[in-house]
Amino acid sequence: MIDRIKSVGAEVFSTVVALRRQIHSDPELAYEEVRTSALVAETLRRLPAVSVRTGVAKTGVVAEIEGDKPGPTIVLRADMDALPIHEENTFDFASRNPGKMHACGHDAHTSSLLGTAMILSELRAEIHGRIRLLFQPSEEKLPGGAKPMIEAGCLDGASAVFGQHVTPRLEAGTIGVRSGPYMASADELYFTVIGEGGHAAEPHSLRADAVVTASQLVTALQTIVSRKSPPGIPSILSIGRFIADGATNVIPATVRLEGTLRTMDESWRTRAHHLIREIAVQTARAHGAECEVEVRVGYPVLVNDHAETSWFRDVASAFVGEGNVVELDPWYASEDFAYYSQEIPGVFYRIGTGNAEAGIVHRVHTPRFTIDEDVLRLAPGLMAYLALRRTAKMSD
């Protein structure tokens, strides 16, 4: 089976690369993926025995491939949206949309899953049951597209879900995976510290200095991680924006702080939300100020199912070689694939796309990110292989 999959993968490789480049050159942000989803649907409709639904969760596309043998349903997922980043790459398929870029590899995810559809369509006689392919909008922007896809019934009747994500941190062709909690929850934190504005020469006359109060708050919030977080539960609380719009001789009346909380435990996450609000309000009060707090709840912890991950390691090793499958460290980025794996057993794995010799080393979410496109010989076939193996295993 592996040889046959790789043979078909080689036949469709140039098409997959062309699709990736077309998508890369025309990036669309969350819920704006109109041209991308049209291209996806058009490509899928050319394939035999593939049914296609469009307009799912606004701009999502869902395809199904029915096998010739009875069996279960499994789900394969790719995301389609780009980021609000101005691309600095100069290759001829660089973004032609100013301020928008596929800087996280969603162009590769989408084109790879289209390649998987091409392979599975060719090998549909080997499919037990049904393979459902999700082309999801809006992974990059809260509240994300995964929950609306689930609400639209995209997991109905399914027994397992799989997704992949490119990474330049691994050498091209290497597969990385981690069982259990893998990616962090991510919540956005917003604080408005309210004091009294006035002349910088007369701070003693003010009811409260919002700048000093906000500065103390940045430090106080760190005690949530250093003193309140249970040992063994990694957490990160970072303040990335501090807006005090005064002047050299003006103390502003309000200061705005923005940041993020990330952790690997849902129970602690909920408690941390309470502590964040409590510490912010009490710190401000101690300085005679007030503080308004908003905790914007983001994606949950992404947990890879233990049994499915163990099975995936064996399957990936068979396809790419045992030495090319590595254990990943926890990653404190977030992913709304987590919503899928809350509903049914899932595995979210990483496929290496780095190539230092070719200068392909820039990380995701940066203006010069790109991938070693030779990976598109491998990625579609691996996902096709795991789908065929998984449906066959589940129908035994």
Contact (Cβ atoms closer than 8 angstroms) between residue 127 and residue 61: no
For 320, list phi and psi in degrees, rounded to 5. -115, -5
- Looking at residue 395, what is its pLDDT? 47
- Looking at residue 68, what is its pLDDT? 83
- Looking at residue 339, what is its pLDDT? 98
pLDDT band at 69 (very low <50, low <70, confident <90, very high): confident
Name the active-site residue from 182, 299, 339, 340.
Answer: 299
Computed over every residue of the chain, the mean pLDDT equals 96
Domain boundaries, the chain: 2-183+301-394, 185-296
Buried-exposed string 182-212: b where 16+ CB fall within 10 A, e elsewhere: bbbbbbebebbbebbebeeeeeeebebbbbb
Name the active-site residue from 32, 340, 373, 385.
Answer: 373
- Looking at residue 392, what is its pLDDT? 86
- Looking at residue 6, what is its pLDDT? 97
Mean pLDDT of the region 293-310: 98
The string of pLDDT tens digits covering residues 24-34 is: 999 999 999 99
- Looking at residue 282, what is its pLDDT? 98
pLDDT band at 151 (very low <50, low <70, confident <90, very high): very high
Q: Check whether 393 has a pLDDT greater than 80.
A: no
18-22, Cβ contacts within 8 angstroms, sequence gap of 24 or more: 19/43, 19/110, 19/111, 19/114, 19/115, 20/107, 20/108, 20/110, 20/111, 20/112, 20/373, 20/376, 21/93, 22/93
Q: What percent of the chain has pLDDT over 90?
A: 97
- Looking at residue 396, what is its pLDDT? 46
Mean pLDDT of the region 124-138: 96
- Looking at residue 134, what is its pLDDT? 98
The string of pLDDT tens digits covering residues 115-128 is: 999 999 999 999 99
Specify whether 11 is catalytic. no
The string of pLDDT tens digits covering residues 183-196 is: 999 999 999 999 99
Mean pLDDT of the region 226-231: 94
Q: What percent of the chain has pLDDT over 70?
A: 99
Q: Under CATH, which number does the domain 2-183+301-394 receive? A: 3.40.630.10
Q: Check whether 138 has a pLDDT greater than 50.
A: yes
Strands 235-243 and 254-263: antiparallel
- Looking at residue 27, what is its pLDDT? 98
| Distance, CA of 89 to CA of 106 (rounded, Å) | 16
- Looking at residue 394, what is its pLDDT? 56
CATH architecture of structural domain 185-296: 2-Layer Sandwich (3.30)
pLDDT band at 224 (very low <50, low <70, confident <90, very high): very high
Mean pLDDT of the region 227-254: 96
Specify whether 339 is catalytic. no
| Distance, CA of 304 to CA of 299 (rounded, Å) | 15
Mean pLDDT of the region 13-33: 98
- C-alpha R_g of the chain: 24
- Looking at residue 145, what is its pLDDT? 98
Q: Do domains 2-183+301-394 and 185-296 have the same CATH topology?
A: no
Mean pLDDT of the region 250-274: 97
pLDDT band at 64 (very low <50, low <70, confident <90, very high): very high
